[in-house]
Amino acid sequence: MLIIFKSDITPEQLENVRERVLAEGCEAHVVRGVYRVTINVLGDDSKLDPEELKSYEGVTEVISVMNPYQLVSRDFHKQDTEIKVKDVIFGPGRFVVMAGPCAVENEEQTMRIARAVRKAGANVLRGGAYKPRSSPYNFQGMGEEGLKILKRASVETGMPIITEALDSRSLEQVYKYGDIIQIGTRNMQNFSLLKEVGRLDKPVMLKRGMSSTIDEWLMAAEYVMAGGNTRILLCERGIRSFDARHTRNVVDLSAVPVVKALSHLPVVIDPSHGTGRRDSILPMSLASVAVGAHAVMIDVHDDAQHALCDGAQAITPVDFEKIMEDIRKVARALDKTVEVPR
**Binders of a copy of itself among 44-103, rule CB under 8 A?**
44, 46, 51-52, 54-57, 61, 63, 65-66, 68, 73, 75-76
Closest CA to 96 of 318, 277, 288, 320: 288
Q: Give the residue, chosen from 91, 92, 311, 341, that forms a contact with a copy of itself under the rule CB under 8 A.
A: 311
Give the x/- contact pattern for a copy of itself in 322-341, rule: CB under 8 A: ----x--xx-xxx-------
**Stretch of 92-100, 104-112, 142-150, 286-294 lying at the interface with a copy of itself (CB under 8 A):** 286-294
Q: Is 246 left (phi over 0), alpha (psi -120 to 50) or beta?
A: alpha
The rounded Cα 158 to chain-centroid distance in angstroms is: 25
- SS3 state of residue 14: helix
Backbone angles phi, psi at 161, to 5 degrees: -105, 135
CA distances to 12, 55, 83, 108, 322 from 2, in Å: 19, 15, 38, 61, 53
255 binds a copy of itself (CB under 8 A): yes
The rounded Cα 271 to chain-centroid distance in angstroms is: 13
22 binds a copy of itself (CB under 8 A): no
Give the x/- contact pattern for a copy of itself in 232-251, rule: CB under 8 A: ------xxxxxxxxxx-xxx
What minimum distance in Å lies between the beta carbon of 56 and a copy of itself? Answer: 5
Give the x/- contact pattern for a copy of itself in 216-235, rule: CB under 8 A: x--xx-xx--xx--------
Q: Residue 90 or 217: which CB sits closer to a copy of itself?
A: 217
What minimum distance in Å lies between the beta carbon of 226 and a copy of itself? Answer: 4
Q: Give the residue, chosen from 36, 86, 148, 151, that forms a contact with a copy of itself under the rule CB under 8 A.
A: 36
User: Which residues in 126-155 contact a copy of itself (CB under 8 A)?
Assistant: 132-137
Reduce the secondary structure of 86-135 to three states and give it as a string. CCEEECCCEEEEEEECCECCCHHHHHHHHHHHHHHCCCEEECECCCCCCC
Pairing mode of beta strands 295-299, 267-269: parallel
